[in-house]
Structure 1
Amino acid sequence: MEKTINICPKCDGRMMLKQIDKTIGFKGENLDIQFETYVCEDCGLHVGTVDQTAFVQKLIADAYRKKVGLLTGREIREKREELGISQKVLAKKAGVGIASIKRWEKGIIQTKPMDTALRSAFTGRMVGNEYSGNSTFSIPRIKLVMKEFEKICRFEFLKDGDRLLFDAKYVWYADLLAYYLLGKGLTGATYAALPHGPQINNYRELIDEIRNADIEDAEPLTDEEKKIIVRVALTFPTKQSVIDGAHREEVFKNKRIGDSIPYTDASKLTEIQLDP
């Protein structure tokens, strides 16, 4: 039922609640959505409440996800509930942080590699092996590794406002080298090829979590793992050197933007000596 709620802020006409159909351009796709908003009877101005605007944003996100073949927030929640598992359990199975699961269910769009990780988790396959280096994903351990690098490199990691442009590349090299030498990565992080080089998947969502993590919650580094971190730090003594090195790697250059970088690519690294 239509309902008058207020006066038009543009012409003082009467506002009526109406359901409208609209085609919206988003990330290169044309999306058809239907939603309720207030419309001025005189000038036709559309005005939405805060809740209506949030709902429309979620509609757009889910319409986009459906169009490009990603799980929607509702599908993620329903599949998780069908399996009778918590967000925490799903996060562990998918190799991501619990905050990512919460955001995706609420409407934030996941990347294609993360969508693949979710689908693998729903089919009962733990995301491990070549994509997380046979390790359990641990945010505190990512921070622990970065802090170990910080001691050796003598410059600050995880600075305020940082986007992990160099931090993540040091961890990427250490993870892959550990996988090559020890058969297991250090952090369980998954990586993707992004315009600025190899990067931790979902890094934008994880930066604050990594920065605020307690390294006391992380499994301590073994002597072998510390030696690997030292090797990476000595190979790339400056921030720019690790950025340049990562960009020269064929395992990065041969990937399309957004593609996952498996740990099995470790044997193809060229910018660091693999064997001691």
Structure 2
Amino acid sequence: MAVEIFTALMEEAQREGCISGVKLAPTVPVITHLLFADDCILLAKAKEEELYQSILILNRYTDASGQKINLEKSGIVFGQQVPIQTRVNIEEIMGMQTWEIPWVTGTLGKIEEQSANVDAAYSRSTAEGATAIVIRDNFGRLLTEESMRIRAHSSLAAEAEAMRRALILATNLNMEQILIESDNLPLVQAVKSKTYIGEVESIIRDIFLLAESLSNCGFTWVPREGNKVADGVAKCSLAGQLEEN
């Protein structure tokens, strides 16, 4: 009975234009979801309003059936044309990670998207800092890294410079798609919301200009434990334990 309610809710949402679904051919019905035993696939456009409608329906299904969605075993598959920042926003809304499925993109063995972990270390006593950028492909393989000693007036300035340096590196390497990952939440929030932080306004302006020059660029926050490599490289560089590259 609960499954029938779920199907009815999805069909109603599609009729009212709240969820688009997909059509495999012009003359066939729209498909909004597929059910396989205990699994379900939802089909929708990468729009926030459709996501919130899907969440509403899933919550109503949970209330009716007592079954809760296991987010750890759930994931999202995007079309190739969905921008990186849109993907990041959807992941945050849904609380799920992206699943990389080569047969969907048709790019097995081809690098489509890179992620750049950025971090910085800072010494207030010397007004010096060090930036670190670690770029990987979508399979997690290391592509390149960069570390650099800099002059900085604050830790935030050093973090912002690391983000700026990552975009310069991506531009120089002709990377078409790049996701910048930083553990500095205020900085990420400012960049994603297109706002400025006074002490690093000039750097953020550069970040906006560089991001606009790339065909597909996004920004996301990662916890410190997810940024350990870049953090370690920055600290070693500041301590003089690494050669700049």
Q: Give the TM bin, normalised by the shorter chain.
A: 0.3 to 0.5
TM-score (norm 2): 0.33
TM-score by length of 1: 0.30
Q: Highest CA radius of gyration, 1 or 2?
A: 1
Give the number of the structure whose residues are more often helix, by fraction: 1
Structure with the higher strand share, 1 or 2? 2
